[in-house]
Amino acid sequence: MEVMPINKNKLAYILLFSFIAVFVLIVLKGLLTPQPGDENIYYYTGKLISDGKVPYGDFLFVHPPLHGYLTALVYGLFGFNIFILKSVPLISILISAFLIFKIAKEKFGSSEAVISSLLFLFSYSIMFNSVFSFGIEIATLFIIAGAYLLLNKNTFFSAGIFFGLAGITRLLSLVPIAVILAAALLPDKRKFLRLSSGFIIIFLLVNGIFTLFFGSDYLIPVYKFHLLKSLEGRENFKEYTEVLKLNWVLFLSASLFIFIKQKKPIAALASASIVYLIFLMTLKKIFGFYFIIIFPFLAIIGGYSIINFFRSLNLKKRWKRFISVILLLIFIWNFSSDVLFLEKVGFTGFERGKELIDFVNSNSNMEHMLFGDDSVVPLLALSTNKRIALDFVDTNSEVFLSGIKNLNKVLNDLKGKDVLFVIRSRQGISYFKEVRQFLNENCELLSVFYDKREGNYIVYRCR
């Protein structure tokens, strides 16, 4: 019986959905595992909003509002369900991968689409951060959706709307958006006006509403705070180079762009990526997830560059096949080591989490509140159904170092309240001598929990 050959177009989609299935299996452990980190701030922020409180007015929130309100929507529907809350960034990543595939396939071809989606999904930072709700994944989805509408559909106004949504999700997205807007201005001012008007309607409308109602309580934490904490001219070389090393396949693939003759089809994406990478160098402190904003662009550039570079090689077919096999083996080796690390380290969860939750439950009553380290206290509060004192969720040291909140006033407002105060020995709010003095004078030490990865968690009772 004659076997019908698989259509190349169908094969590309089969490969894409195979990649997605493998990806979900890899990150499933992280999806089920609560961990200390900034995402817990956003989960508790979602709880506050779903309870009827308003960011900037009732409590401090140092980001544009959309991520907080989307989290509140999920929290309002499902409560504190760690699997569902972590599914939001995962779904954002998977939709982004599909749009990357569509952009590359419709603009270039099936081979470019398959490689682009492969580079994106199986980059270390994407696999790791896909189950941490930092808001950057949602902003990335909005940017790549805007890019798809702009590059593939020529619907400039709709693309601008999605860029506006990215801008009110995470401020970092404004850098590549600005480059894309500038690129649209040069060849055609009418298209630029349609693109920019869609962006402005969303971005200015939302910012205008919150500025009108909250004034400096909105502008200072969302805009001034990020300028105060970021623009100090120092580079975090260690984190920067670490991200490059962890995702070297993606960055190396994208760098082949230099050797491609036909650069015009991806010139805008390359420009946005380069400007963004330079911009990150100006920041005092960077985190690995900052880079995710441009990973879709780098993946498309990489997929396009690999195929075109390979086609330009003046080699016989057998040599090209040999090189392809070698490159595939290198990719599999790197991918396997990343997955093994995620399984053994990256997704191991919170070593002392259950013990801390049990301790809080057994050493408090309904009137007790929690306060302290921003990476773990929101998680403990949600897990034990406790309030955070003063609704002060984000106790990041930069909040006080930048001056947007007065630490002594916050500590003074805590006096007289029944609070379990949790700090970490290695970082966080315990950095300040005022905090250590407050704990020594007003609180009693209850227990210390040693965590191999996070250091000591120290619990005090303050009355």
The string of DSSP codes covering 278-319 is: HHHHTSS---GGGGGGGHHHHHHHHHHHHHHHHHH----HHH
Phi first, then psi: give them for residue 158, nearest 5 degrees: -65, -40
Is residue 339 very low, low, confident or very high in pLDDT (cuts 50, 70, 90)?
A: very high
Q: Could you tell me whether strands 419-424 and 369-372 are parallel, antiparallel, or unpaired per DSSP bridges? A: parallel
Does residue 4 have a pLDDT over 70?
Answer: no
Encoded tokens for 96? 């982004």
Mean pLDDT, range 180-208, rounded to an integer: 92
Count up the domains in the chain and report the number: 2
Report the pLDDT value the prediction gives residue 196, as an integer from 0 to 100.
95
In a domain, 52, yes or no: no
In a domain, 1, yes or no: no
In a domain, 57, yes or no: no
In a domain, 319, yes or no: yes
Encoded tokens for 104? 């590359």
374 against 314, higher pLDDT:
374
The residue from 346, 378, 411 where one domain ends is 346
Does residue 284 have a pLDDT over 90?
Answer: no
In a domain, 416, yes or no: yes
Does residue 459 have a pLDDT over 50?
Answer: yes
Report the pLDDT value the prediction gives residue 425, as an integer from 0 to 100.
84
Report the pLDDT value the prediction gives residue 234, as an integer from 0 to 100.
52
Report the pLDDT value the prediction gives residue 313, as an integer from 0 to 100.
81
Report the pLDDT value the prediction gives residue 232, as an integer from 0 to 100.
46
In a domain, 54, yes or no: no
The residue from 293, 320, 346 where one domain ends is 346
In a domain, 327, yes or no: yes
226 against 339, higher pLDDT:
339
What is the tens place of the pLDDT at every residue in 226-259? 887 654 445 578 889 999 999 999 999 999 999 9
From CA 7, how far away is CA 249, in angstroms rounded?
29
Mean pLDDT, range 416-430, rounded to an integer: 89
Does residue 290 have a pLDDT over 90?
Answer: yes
Is residue 319 very low, low, confident or very high in pLDDT (cuts 50, 70, 90)?
A: confident
Whether residues 399 and 448 fall in one domain: yes
Whether residues 357 and 233 fall in one domain: no
Is residue 2 very low, low, confident or very high in pLDDT (cuts 50, 70, 90)?
A: very low
Cβ-Cβ contacts under 8 Å for 57 (sequence gap 6 or more):
213, 214, 217
Whether residues 370 and 341 fall in one domain: no
Encoded tokens for 20? 């997605």
The residue from 299, 324, 346 where one domain ends is 346
Of all residues in the chain, the percent with pLDDT exceeding 70 is 97
Is residue 61 very low, low, confident or very high in pLDDT (cuts 50, 70, 90)?
A: very high
Which letter, b or e, does each residue of 259-296 get, where b requires 16 or more Cβ atoms within 10 Å of its Cβ?
A: ebeeeebbebbbbbbebbbebbeebeebebbbbbbbbb
Whether residues 384 and 456 fall in one domain: yes
What is the tens place of the pLDDT at every residue in 192-201? 999 999 999 9
In a domain, 46, yes or no: no
Whether residues 101 and 222 fall in one domain: yes
Does residue 389 have a pLDDT over 50?
Answer: yes
Whether residues 328 and 399 fall in one domain: no
Report the pLDDT value the prediction gives residue 3, as an integer from 0 to 100.
44
Encoded tokens for 95? 């939709």
Does residue 359 have a pLDDT over 50?
Answer: yes
Domain of residue 96, residue span: 8-33+81-346
From CA 11, how far away is CA 383, in angstroms rounded?
45
Does residue 66 have a pLDDT over 90?
Answer: yes
Report the pLDDT value the prediction gives residue 228, as an integer from 0 to 100.
75
Whether residues 115 and 191 fall in one domain: yes
What is the tens place of the pLDDT at every residue in 16-46? 999 999 999 999 999 999 999 999 999 999 9
Report the pLDDT value the prediction gives residue 230, as an integer from 0 to 100.
53
Whether residues 139 and 251 fall in one domain: yes
Whether residues 324 and 414 fall in one domain: no
Is residue 182 very low, low, confident or very high in pLDDT (cuts 50, 70, 90)?
A: very high
Whether residues 293 and 360 fall in one domain: no
Report the pLDDT value the prediction gives residue 163, as an integer from 0 to 100.
98
From CA 215, how far away is CA 210, in angstroms rounded?
7
Whether residues 336 and 423 fall in one domain: no
Of all residues in the chain, the percent with pLDDT exceeding 90 is 80
Whether residues 169 and 206 fall in one domain: yes
Phi first, then psi: give them for residue 319, nearest 5 degrees: -70, -35
Phi first, then psi: give them for residue 457, nearest 5 degrees: -100, 125
Phi first, then psi: give them for residue 116, nearest 5 degrees: -60, -45
Does residue 286 have a pLDDT over 80?
Answer: yes
